[in-house]
Amino acid sequence: MAEKYPDWRGKVLRKRYRLDERIALGRTVEVFRAYDLLEEREVAVKLPLPHLLSDREFCDQFRAAAHRATRLRYPGLVEVLDYGLEEDRPFVVEELVEARTLHEILETGKRMKPLGALYFALEISRTLAYLEKQGVAHGSLDERHIFIYPGRKAKMSDPGFPVVMGGGDSPFPVFLNLQRDIRDLGYLIYRSVTNRSKQEVLEDARKGKLRWDREVPLRLQRFVEVCLKSAEGKGFPTARDALRDVVSSLREELPLAPLPPEEPEEERVEEAPAAPAAALPLPLPRLRRWQVWVGGGLLAVAAVLLFFWILSMFIGGTKVEVPNLVNVSVEEAAKMAAERDLGLLVVGKDHDAQVKADYVISQDPKPGEMVKRKTVIKVLQSLGPLTVPNLVGLSLEDARSVLESRGFRVGEVIYKEVAGYSQNRVVETDPPYGSKLSSGAAVNLVVNRKPQ
């Protein structure tokens, strides 16, 4: 198999991504610096090593993980931009990260300062809490998957991607096993602060005797120890709990430093200001006779004007024609309605393939109807078209779930024998990936089946 793919440098994947140079080689993937010919920018492209292409379960897990990753958007994650298949070899396209990995930094002999370790724990815990909320576990959180940025920032790559090759062991699936990720965070912090080797770290953790220097705060020591017990069910039950502990530790170390809250800030209802204390009564001046007459005259004029204004509302309130607001922006529609002394109310929003986002899909009353002034026109606002997702390589069940969560419905399911795909995997969609449709539109699926 390796002879079939000797060198992919210079190759263009899906007529879009040109592989320029290989920049990393891992246990299961190789990484290329590539150029996106469509967006005109540099990206990173990861491909499974050639000898793993015969492991269909690994490749299926790789594609499924890539599909999940395209929906993850968080500052602490390396962004996955696209994925696909080229000559039966799956690939994933990510943002190109120029920062060094934690592994590269530790290999130089540098240590992480205790305060920096607390900020590092804060960054990773926040990202793990986000993954936890999305129902995804990383599964292979190690120093090669962590990128360190200036300003105490860190990014995590490859959440949920398979890391164990075949030969009797299945690729690591994405289950809700975040306790394993929390345990791995403890390993990373302990190794980063002490700069002990991986073998020494594992041995210390196994014996339950961690070797700390005197300047390491007790709160950080305790945090690491609790993290290491998480996989056994004795540590932090969730990443959110770990995040709260880190924030509490940082507040203890830096009481005056601005820190993020443990939980997202909820909208606060401002209390009404207390009523001022009752003021002492002031003596009112006595009005002269002419002042009384002038005041009465002004009130009489105001009453006459008010009478004529009310009369105009009933007598002069003639009907006006409802303008055509369909395919008009909501902002412009409000102006058109106001010009005819009408109101506008957005009563709902929906995806429509024929109407641009923030434009009107339909209205009530209909265009051309005669209505009274001050009538409110109810409109349905467009969210723009829905894009058919890339479902190739997903199981039929996962494809159904993705379509329904995106606002589509599953149309006809066609079974067809296709080489290179596992049983019950989607090999094609109709309409194809990238098509623009409205909410509720049907997407037909072509699924691989065993030969008869």
How many residues appear in the chain?
Answer: 452
- Residue 83 in contact with residue 17, Cβ under 8 Å? no
Nearest by Cα to 11 from 28, 44, 34: 34
Distance CA 282, CA 185 (A): 70
Q: Would you state the pLDDT for residue 58?
A: 83
Distance (Å, whole) CA 314 – CA 47: 74
Fold of 100-253: Transferase(Phosphotransferase); domain 1 (1.10.510)
77, two tokens: 């994650």
Would you call the peptide bond into 323 cis, given omega within 30 degrees of 0 as the criterion?
A: no
Dist CA 124 CA 231 (whole Å): 17
* Same-fold call for 319-382 versus 386-448: yes
| Nearest by Cα to 183 from 158, 202, 156 | 202
Q: Residue holding tokens 């960054």?
A: 123
State residue 299's pLDDT score: 80
Q: Can you give the pLDDT at residue 305? A: 79
User: Which architecture characterizes domain 319-382 according to CATH?
Assistant: 2-Layer Sandwich (3.30)
User: Hey, what are 223's tokens?
Assistant: 């945090």
CATH code, 2-95 = 3.30.200.20
For strand 442-448 and strand 409-416, is the pairing parallel, antiparallel, or unpaired? parallel
Element (H, E) at 60: helix 56-69
Tokens of 21: 């140079």
Can you give the pLDDT of all 452 residues of the chain as single tens digits?
Answer: 344 445 788 899 988 999 999 998 888 889 999 999 988 999 999 999 888 888 888 888 888 888 888 888 899 999 999 999 888 889 999 999 989 999 999 999 899 999 999 999 999 999 999 988 888 888 888 899 999 998 888 999 988 887 654 333 444 444 446 788 999 999 999 999 998 888 888 888 888 889 898 888 889 999 999 998 887 778 888 889 999 999 888 888 777 666 655 444 333 333 344 444 444 454 445 556 666 676 777 788 788 777 776 665 555 457 889 999 999 999 999 999 999 889 999 888 899 999 999 999 999 999 999 998 889 999 999 999 988 888 888 888 888 888 888 889 999 998 888 877 778 888 889 988 888 899 899 999 999 886 66
Q: What integer pLDDT is reported at residue 402 of this predicted model?
A: 83
Spell out the long-range contacts of 325-328 with Cβ–Cβ below 8 A and sequence spacing 24 or more.
Answer: 325/360, 325/363, 325/367, 325/377, 325/379, 326/355, 326/360, 326/361, 326/362, 326/363, 326/367, 327/355, 327/359, 327/360, 328/359, 328/360
Half-sphere exposure of 225 (CA within 13 A, CB side): 12
Burial of 176 (0-12, 13-18, 19+ CB in 10 A): exposed
- Give the pLDDT confidence score for residue 163 in this predicted structure: 67
All structural domains of the chain with their residue ranges: 2-95, 100-253, 319-382, 386-448
User: Which residues neighbour 53 within 8 Å (Cβ) at sequence distance 6 or greater?
Assistant: 1, 59, 88, 89
What pLDDT shows up at residue 105?
92
3-state SS, residue 3: helix
Instruction: Give the pLDDT confidence score for residue 176 in this predicted structure.
Output: 46
- Please name which of 184, 179, 154 lies closest in space to residue 78, comparing C-alpha atoms: 154
Angle between helical axes of 114-134 and 239-253 (0-180°, round to 10): 150
Q: Which fold has domain 386-448?
A: Trypsin Inhibitor V; Chain A (3.30.10)
